[in-house]
Amino acid sequence: MRLGCHLSIAGGLSRALQRAQGLGCQSLQIFVQNPRAWQGRQVTDAEIEAFIALRRQTAIDPLVVHLSYLPNLAASGALLYQRSRNRLQQELALAARLEADFLVCHPGHALVNDAGVQQVAAAVAAAVGQIPPPPLILLENTAGQGQELGWQIPQLDQIIKLSGVPVGLCLDTAHAFAAGYDLRHQVGIDRLLTEIAQGPGLTAIRVIHLNDSRVPLGSRRDRHWHLGQGEIGLVGLRQFLSQAELRPQALILETPKKQSEDDPRNLAVARSLLRPQELISSLHTDLVG
Ligand SMILES: [Zn+2]
Ligand SMILES: [Zn+2]
């Protein structure tokens, strides 16, 4: 498991790699477009070449791209649905030019679940038909806020199977917890892993988004929080990461960034969670104290 963060591309794509290097990250997740604007930015070949060259030097691997927030691949309106499909294809194409390994997508919001599931599957199938992996599309489990699809693993499995193309999973710990999977206890972890094993399979999990949750179990709200300071807590996160069946390529932090010390501190906590047990008690004292 190679540890990294979601980092900003402000100032140009290569700046994200420099930020990752400065933080000692082994992997990286970025947006390739402004996540809140339909107006896409033209990315020149020179910017792409510089990014690829710098990535070789930094040995950042894997590179994960997160689809921007505006596309809704389950939209009931024909116009928004078409726009969302186009945007998925554009960002997948850009991720391919950047030699990204994965493109993480949320399934979207649907008024009618069955129709939404079919639409997401069709959108993903069309995109992968145009641009086969790599990058491999990973569907992310969601918190199930509002009409969000994909908070239950069997529904994600349904989308993947319907698509008929290679698609993996990105597992977000804060989303899983808010969706009712109790990662603080082995019984909750077992329920999650069993559903995945019976669906897309545990090897489908290529990326884990390691986030604590600011909101309680089953609250169906999406509120990421600093590792060890949320409702899952250090013991829960450690328990989850200790599962031998989990073999993702990357662990990516999407924790809040209010102050410059937030990323280094959360990365340090994540590193401690990946080390042997005895360190946790001293770290816990530090955080509480
Ligand atoms: Zn996400
Ligand atoms: Zn996430």
Ligand 2 mean position, distance from CA 159 (Å)? 18
Please confirm whether the linkage preceding 62 is cis (ω < 30° from 0): yes
Residue 147, pLDDT score? 96
User: Does residue 285 surpass a pLDDT of 60?
Assistant: no
**Length of the chain counted residue by residue:** 289
Ligand 1 center from residue 285 Cα (angstroms): 31
Give the number of whichever ligand sits closest to the CA of residue 176. Answer: 2
CA–centroid distance, 108 to ligand 2, in Å, is 13
Q: Percent of the chain scored above 70 by pLDDT? A: 96
Give 53 Cα–ligand 1 centroid separation in angstroms: 27
Q: What does the pLDDT read at residue 105?
A: 98
Contact 15, 261 (CB under 8 A): no
Domain boundaries, the chain: 2-288
Instruction: Tell me the CA–centroid distance for residue 7 and ligand 1, in Å.
Output: 13
The confidence band for 39, taking pLDDT boundaries of 50, 70 and 90, is confident
Q: State pLDDT tens for residues 118-139.
A: 999 999 999 999 999 999 999 9
Are 240 and 172 within 8 A, CB to CB? Answer: no
Distance 95 CA to ligand 1 centre (A): 16
Distances (CA, A) of 253 to 64, 90, 206: 12, 25, 14
Distance of CA 278 from the midpoint of ligand 1 (Å): 32
Residue 210 CA: which ligand is closest?
A: 2
Q: How many angstroms does the Cα of residue 140 sit away from the middle of ligand 2?
A: 7
**Confidence category of residue 30, pLDDT binned at 50, 70, 90:** very high
Q: How far is the CA of 78 from the centre of ligand 2 (A)?
A: 27
Q: What was the pLDDT predicted at 275?
A: 85
Q: What is the mean pLDDT of residues 246-270?
A: 97
Which tens digit of pLDDT belongs to each residue from 75-84?
Answer: 999 999 999 9
pLDDT, residue 282, reads 52
Question: What average pLDDT does the structure give for the chain?
Answer: 95
Architecture of domain 2-288: Alpha-Beta Barrel (3.20)
pLDDT band at 19 (very low <50, low <70, confident <90, very high): very high
Two structure tokens written together for 113: 């679940």
The answer to whether 212 and 226 are in contact (CB under 8 A) is: yes
264 pLDDT above the threshold of 80: yes
pLDDT digits (tens, 9 = 90+) for 146-166: 999 999 999 999 999 999 999
How many angstroms is it from 240 CA to the middle of ligand 2?
A: 16
With b for 16 or more beta-carbon neighbours within 10 A and e for fewer, the 50-64 pattern comes to ebbebbeeeebebbb
Give the confidence band of 283 by pLDDT, cuts at 50, 70, 90: low
CA of 56 to the centre of ligand 2 (A): 26
Closest ligand to 209 CA?
2
What would the mean pLDDT of 221-226 be, rounded to a whole number? Answer: 98
Judge whether residue 263 has pLDDT over 90: yes
pLDDT tier, 284 (very low <50, low <70, confident <90, very high otherwise) = low
Rounded CA-CA distance 158/13 in Å is 35
pTM of the complete model: 0.94
CA 219/CA 69 separation, integer angstroms: 21
